[in-house]
Amino acid sequence: MKLDILVFGSHPDDAELGAGATIAKEVAAGKKVGIIDLTRGELGTRGTAEIRDAEATEAAKILGVSLRENLEFADGFFVNDRDHQLAIIRILRKYRPEIVLCNAVEDRHIDHAKGSKLVSDACFLSGLVKIDTKFEGDDNWQDPWRPKQVYHYIQWKNLKPDFVVDVSGYIEKKIEAIHAYSSQFYDPASKEPQTPISSKNFTDSVEYRARDLGRLIGTDHAEGFTVERPVAVASLYHLI
């Protein structure tokens, strides 16, 4: 299966929190979108890896993505080295996305910036013809593939976006997908320990950040992204 967009997250729920409405909008437009979770979030204070597996599956159904897979890297301890890069290169060459979305370049959780750089480096290396890879269970050598663009969504920190996507009409789908992770977010009846993302303030911030970014561009809601290199457009009118 060739994908149009492949979204990477260091943990289950990263993709939804950072780009859930954009994902839902692109799926509604007929684009084939996949999500790759680098870890199972097994070090999370609340819930378990098994619970988060089930939650991620449910969130994927809500967003309507074509696939969701987990590379099962070690939560908190994965590194940007050859083995981890090759695992991502195999995924990139298998699904050949035009666009990759990945974690914030800077954030509160150390895995977010690590995951961001790891995926970005793998996207470059995936285009090199002298790196040979085979996907598990396939005897054929993979062809090189480099996505046209790598964009980074915004997470805990209020980074300044390089561009924003109008997601008016899709914020409800994003919130629904986030609520699929019932073990992680605000629940007044929960007996689990409190975390920075389990407060009502955090859950509310997902909507009011989108509303604020939308305000800046004259729409109801928007999601922001940062870029690694200038984005080319054929006409000034493509920026409207």
The pLDDT score that the predictor gives to residue 159 is: 97
The pLDDT score that the predictor gives to residue 139 is: 85
**C-beta of residue 31 within 8 angstroms of C-beta of residue 5:** yes
Separation of alpha carbons 61 and 6, rounded Å: 16
pLDDT in tens, the chain (240 residues): 899 999 999 999 999 999 999 999 999 999 999 999 999 999 999 999 999 999 999 999 999 999 999 999 999 999 999 999 999 999 999 999 999 999 999 999 999 999 999 999 999 999 999 999 998 888 899 999 999 999 999 999 999 999 999 999 999 999 999 999 999 999 998 889 999 999 999 999 999 999 999 999 999 999 999 999 988 889 988 877
The pLDDT score that the predictor gives to residue 177 is: 98
Q: Closest by alpha carbon to 37, among 66, 63, 6, 82?
A: 6
Domain span holding position 228: 5-239
- The enclosing H or E element of 224 equals strand 222-227
Q: What is the total count of domains within the chain?
A: 1
**C-beta of residue 151 within 8 angstroms of C-beta of residue 218:** no
Separation of alpha carbons 50 and 200, rounded Å: 24
**C-beta of residue 7 within 8 angstroms of C-beta of residue 36:** yes
**C-beta of residue 135 within 8 angstroms of C-beta of residue 142:** yes
The pLDDT score that the predictor gives to residue 236 is: 87
What's the CATH code of the domain at 86? 3.40.50.10320
Sheet containing strand 99-102, strands side by side: 67-73, 33-39, 5-9, 99-102, 149-153, 222-227, 163-166
* Cα–Cα distances in angstroms (integers) from residue 42 to residues 18, 28, 53, in the given order: 20, 32, 10
Work out the number of other CB atoms within 10 angstroms of the CB of residue 73: 22
